[in-house]
């Protein structure tokens, strides 16, 4: 079952522009995380946001969470070529009573120099 769905599937921008990607999920959550994956490599944790938080910042990253719409967004400001990667959201599934992490299908970001 797919809990998180990222949108858009792919995004291409110029260096210096901002990149926004969205994640929607189906059932209530306790926590949501964003990860980055460089081509074919392991995922790297970016930021964690809890269900009682609305916004978090980390460097050039800004994450928002709207639990009423069951969605989150990741904004990367002043993008760099090194930001080229795939970005995934991950959610938990407290209603299922299990300890599964559910990842979306990801957004492929390409930053052109």
Partner 1 sequence: EAQVTQNPRYLITVTGKKLTVTCSQNMNHEYMSWYRQDPGLGLRQIYYSMNVEVTDKGDVPEGYKVSRKEKRNFPLILESPSPNQTSLYFCASSWTGLLNTEAFFGQGTRLTVV
Under rule CB under 8 A, residue 100 binds partner 1: yes
Determine which residue in the list 74, 88, 109, 111 makes contact with partner 1, applying CB under 8 A. 88
Determine which residue in the list 41, 59, 68, 113 makes contact with partner 1, applying CB under 8 A. 41
Instruction: State the minimum distance, in angstroms, from the CB of residue 85 to partner 1.
Output: 13
What is the sign, positive or negative, of the torsion defined by CA atoms of 73, 79, 81, 83?
negative
Cα gap 43→88, rounded to integer Å: 9
Q: Is 47 exposed, middle or buried (0-12, 13-18, 19+ CB in 10 A)?
A: middle
Residues that bind partner 1 (CB under 8 A): 1-2, 30-33, 35, 40-45, 48, 50, 88, 90-92, 98-106
């Amino acid at each position: 079952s797919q809990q998180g769905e990222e949108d858009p599937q792919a995004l291409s921008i110029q260096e210096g522009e901002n990149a926004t990607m969205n994640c929607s999920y189906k059932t209530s959550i306790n926590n949501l995380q964003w990860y980055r994956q460089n081509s074919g490599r392991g995922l790297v944790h970016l930021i964690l946001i809890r269900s009682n938080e609305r916004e978090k910042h980390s460097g050039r990253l800004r994450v928002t969470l709207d639990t009423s719409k069951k969605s989150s967004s990741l904004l990367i400001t002043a993008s760099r070529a090194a930001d080229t990667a795939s970005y995934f959201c991950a959610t938990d599934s407290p209603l299922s009573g299990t300890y599964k992490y559910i990842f979306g299908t990801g957004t492929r970001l390409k930053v052109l120099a």
